[in-house]
Amino acid sequence: MTSHDVVAQVRRRFGTRTVGHTGTLDPFATGLLVLVLGGATRLARFVEAERKWYRAEARLGQATDTDDLTGRLVGEPWTGVWPSQEAVTAALAAMVGPALQLPPAFSAKQVGGERSYRVARRGGTVALAPAPVMIHSLELLEYQPPMVAWRAEVGAGTYLRAMARDLGQALGVGAHLTALRREAVGRFRVEAATPLAALTGAEPLITPASLVDHLPRVEVGAEECARLRHGQRVGSAAGCVGPAALVEDGRLVAIGEPRDGQWHPIVVLAA
C-alpha cells in the first residue's frame, strides 16, 4: 500500500476530497502517516519539516538497484568474513551529523521535470545530486550477520534506503534495506495513531493549532485577524526568526514569518 492509497481511503471514509499527508512512506514500510484534512493541508510542510524517528533493518552482503528489497540485485554477493559489531557501530556513528546524501535512483526527486523513479523504471540514466541532510542520532539495535537493525532520528529529506546503501559501502560488503517502520514525526507517535483498518471517518480530529504547536505562538486580536485575511502584516516580530502560529483565543488564524519587523502571513486559515 502506498501513501496515496491511504489518502484515497481516508477521503472516502471522511467524505472529503481535501486530504494530504506529511511525508511519503515507501510501500514496503509500516508505521506512522500523519494526515491533514481540509484547510489544514496547507500546514503539511510545517509538520513534514519536523524530525522523524525510524526503525530500519538491512541485509548486508549485496546491493540492489533500488537500495531496498524490492529491487534487482546488483554486483556480486559478499562471500568473505562479516564485519564485526564494533565496525558496524563505528560505521553508523560516522553517519551522524550534517551530510550530503545521494538520493536513491528510485525516488521522488525531480530529474528534468520528471520523477526520478519513473526515469529509472524505463531504464533511463538517473543523475541525482547529493542533497544536504541531518542525521541526529543512530542506535544499533541488533546485529546478526547478515542482518542489522538500527533506530534513526533524522531531519526532513533523509532517505533510510540511502543510509542502508551507504552503510554497506562503508563496510565494504554492500547492503540494502529490508524493513522500515516510521515510529514518530515530531511529537506524533505511532502508538497513539489510529490503525487504518479501524478508521471509520467519525474520529475527532486535532485542531490546526495543535498540529503546529511546535511553532512559537503569537496572540493576535480581532483587528489583526482582519488584516491577516487580506494578507497584511501585523504586530511586532523584531528579533524573531522563523515561522510562528498566529492565534486568536486558541484558534489558528495564520502562519506568519518575520518580514521588516512584522509578522507576514504565509498561510491564512481565518474565514
How far apart, in whole angstroms, are the C-alpha atoms of residue 184 and residue 64?
27
Q: Are 168 and 87 in contact (CB under 8 A)?
A: no
pLDDT of the chain, 271 residues: tens digit per residue: 889 999 999 999 999 999 999 988 888 899 999 999 999 999 999 999 999 999 999 999 999 988 999 888 998 999 999 999 999 999 999 999 999 998 887 655 555 555 555 544 545 555 677 899 999 999 999 999 999 999 999 999 999 999 999 999 999 999 999 999 999 999 999 999 999 999 999 999 999 999 999 999 999 999 999 999 999 999 999 989 999 999 999 899 999 999 999 999 999 996 5
Q: Residue 68 catalytic?
A: no
Take residue 121 and report the three cell numbers written for it: 523504471
What contacts 53, CB < 8 A, 6 or more positions away? 151, 152, 153, 154, 182, 183, 184, 185
Per-domain residue ranges of the chain: 1-50+186-205, 51-180, 208-268
Give me the architecture of the 51-180 domain, per CATH. 2-Layer Sandwich (3.30)
How far apart, in whole angstroms, are the C-alpha atoms of residue 78 and residue 60?
8
- The hierarchical CATH code for the domain 208-268 is 2.30.130.10
Check 26, 67, 68, 166 and give the catalytic one.
Answer: 26
